[in-house]
Amino acid sequence: MCGIVGYIGERQAVDVLVNGLKRLEYRGYDSAGLSIISDSNLITYKKQGKVADLETIIEGKNHRSNIGIAHTRWATHGAPSDVNAHPHRDNSGRISIVHNGIIENYGLLKKALIKRGYSFHTETDTEVLAVLIGAFYEQTKNLELSVRKALSEVVGTFGLLVLSLDEPDRIIAARRGSPMVLGIGDGEYIIASDATAIIQYTKQVIYLSDNEMAIVSKDNFATKTIDNIETNNQIHQIEFDLEELEKGGFEHFMLKEIHEQPYTIQNAYKGRLIADKGNVKLGGLRNVADKLRNAKRIIFTACGTSWHSALVGEYMLEQLAGVPVEVEYASEFRYRNPVLYPDDIVFAISQSGETADTLAAVYEAKQKGCTVLGIVNVVGSSIARETEAGIYIHAGPEIGVASTKAFTSQVMVLALVALYLGRMKNLSQLDGKRIASEIIQLPDKINQILARCEDIKQIAKKYIYAKNILYLGRGYNFPVALEGALKLKEISYIHAEGYPAAEMKHGPIALIDENMPVVFIATKDEIYHKIISNIEEVRARGGKVIAIATEGDTQIKQFANDVFYIPETLPMLTPILSVVPLQLLAYFFAKELGRPIDQPRNLAKSVTVE
């Protein structure tokens, strides 16, 4: 959450900073601001609203500057406002900082600083950190040392950039629990919370580790721990291209990313699936293959959409590999005392690889001696670096806040893990080849669904009156019901809930009347007749039924008001197809209602704070 970008080099800093904020706006968009040093002045502009609102107040200022820091905010402490927007300054007005994270002991620090005569003008925890750095600077007259001393007193998380008028040729960066990436250009450096703000200028980056600082000047940089021990960081190459950050002719990033799924699914299995042998090659798990083979239990830990993909993965692994699987909310996992054994395998699943709760769960599982593996999208992310081994989903940048292609790519990778582990155990080559054959057909089948977007659009228009919608599914499609409901809530603001269809009778059926549409994922499988019974229960109470059904199923038309057909595949792979019309349904509902689809209220892409 929150987007941070800093620049030092030969370019006009304001241009680089504003462009970076636009790339990062999906991380937070309730206010934005920047600080630059120009003509021996520290100049700050900040504004509640989108980055475009910030642009209006700096337009025509023509400040010449080659150094600056900037921020786009997702509010934690203090409501969105001009005053609470970052950057924040110390009491001298000569130090400016931008910050992502939460300073948990800011209240105690603030009281202590007030007693010493310092004053505050905002409701934020970040201003406390700025004033604390300034207080140390009064004593040390050394910015790096002052930042180090301040951070040694801080409890909490931070991704931080610091700029000072007294040392106008450097930026100090630091991180603990919030990502920071240093881009290394030709005579310039770009520091950001996300590589999307960097790729326009360079593909060479260094990922700062927890409790690490970078001291960056125009000509060089140094990295060291907050305890002042020098570090040597490996330079990585950004794997995606600038074109992947553009809408590519689509009206919204979400719609573009839905349409990218044939490609991203293929990217997830390409080079890994050995179809003619029914096998899977997962190089990222090579060193833990024996541990996986002998595991008595596998635990998935994740949040949000990733938690839904983990539920699908649970069904897959138990079916194909016969291994008990548990799925844990990372936010709960970290605050209880989970029963873990040294031979447990824990998979942490996160699109960004920076989700705070999931990262904390990684640390907890490692502390208990488990083998901890990652399934992430972002190369070089914290979870990728903190886990023993893992798999990248290779979905490319996902800019829309509501996750789409990452979900299907995660499910695809989990299917590969299930096949990989199943073939290690009792799954026959014949069954492996059958699954592999169906996987290869998925991209074409998704394209068939996408070709009928207009049908979904018409269904959305028909039910636009709805204030509440129920999503029901059974077996592999129960997690899809959860994910479909989440997508609708996120971007349309319509209340929706997902349930196992049989659980409807245990409460939700009380809500059903002629104004309550119910979405059933009713694909042909071994429990199809059960879902038909559930549909009839809804119809008997006047509910309107929208069914996602398998091509060729003519029976379903007798029971549903509206039917959208998807191609047939194996039950375990059905979620990759059945979720696509639900993503489109949420999109068209939101579009009909005029919602800000890519930047829904109160949400941000990567949840890097508690």
Residue 29, domain CATH: 3.60.20.10
Q: Are 46 and 33 in contact (CB under 8 A)?
A: yes
Q: Which residue, of 204, 238, 272, is where some domain finishes? A: 238
Asked if 411 and 552 sit in the same domain, the reply is no
d(CA 445, CA 336): 42
Predicted confidence at residue 608, as pLDDT, reads 58
Asked if 415 and 524 sit in the same domain, the reply is no
Q: How much is the average pLDDT of 243-265?
A: 93
Whether 303 is a known active-site residue: answer no
d(CA 163, CA 172): 7
Residue 347, classed as helix, strand or coil, is: strand
With vertex at residue 278, the alpha carbon angle to CA 273 and CA 284, rounded to the nearest 5 degrees, is 40
Predicted confidence at residue 76, as pLDDT, reads 78
Predicted confidence at residue 606, as pLDDT, reads 65
| pLDDT 10s digits, 352-364 | 898 889 999 999 9
Predicted confidence at residue 431, as pLDDT, reads 96
User: Given 50, 149, 405, 605, which residue is catalytic?
Assistant: 605
Query: DSSP secondary structure string, 480-512?
Result: HHHHHHHHHHHHH--EEEEEEGGGGGGTGGGG-
- The Cβ of residue 602 has, within 10 Å, a number of other Cβ atoms equal to 9
Whether 453 is a known active-site residue: answer no
Does position 609 have pLDDT exceeding 80, yes or no?
no
Q: Which of 314, 381, 310, 298 is closest to 349 using CA atoms?
A: 310
d(CA 584, CA 519): 13
Asked if 163 and 284 sit in the same domain, the reply is no
Q: How many domains does the chain have?
A: 3
Q: Is 608 among the domain residues?
A: no
Q: Which of 60, 85, 71, 150 is closest to 112 using CA atoms?
A: 150
Q: Is 229 among the domain residues?
A: yes
Asked if 408 and 511 sit in the same domain, the reply is no
Q: Which of 194, 158, 191 is closest to 175 using CA atoms?
A: 158
Asked if 441 and 456 sit in the same domain, the reply is no
Residues 6+ apart with CB under 8 A from 15: none
Does position 610 have pLDDT exceeding 70, yes or no?
no
Asked if 290 and 192 sit in the same domain, the reply is no
Asked if 427 and 467 sit in the same domain, the reply is no
Asked if 180 and 41 sit in the same domain, the reply is yes
Q: How much is the average pLDDT of 362-371?
A: 94
Does position 227 have pLDDT exceeding 80, yes or no?
yes
Q: What string of H, E and C letters represents the secondary structure of 44-90?
A: EEEEECCHHHHHHHHCCCCCCCCEEEEEEECCCCCCCCCCCCCCEEC
Predicted confidence at residue 80, as pLDDT, reads 83
Q: Is 604 among the domain residues?
A: no
Asked if 262 and 330 sit in the same domain, the reply is yes
Q: Which of 141, 146, 202, 255 is closest to 16 using CA atoms?
A: 202
Q: How much is the average pLDDT of 235-262?
A: 90
Could you tell me the residue range of the domain that residue 487 belongs to?
452-594
Residues linked to residue 177 through DSSP beta bridges, in sequence order: 158
Question: Of residues 182 and 531, which shows the higher confidence score?
Answer: 182
Asked if 312 and 252 sit in the same domain, the reply is yes
d(CA 76, CA 125): 9
d(CA 271, CA 230): 39
Q: What is the largest CA-CA distance in the chain?
A: 80
DSSP E strands in 136-277: the ranges are: 158-164, 170-176, 181-184, 189-192, 204-207, 212-217, 221-225, 236-237, 273-274
How does the average pLDDT of the chain come out, rounded?
93
We report the CATH number of the domain holding residue 388 as 3.40.50.10490
pTM of this prediction? 0.89
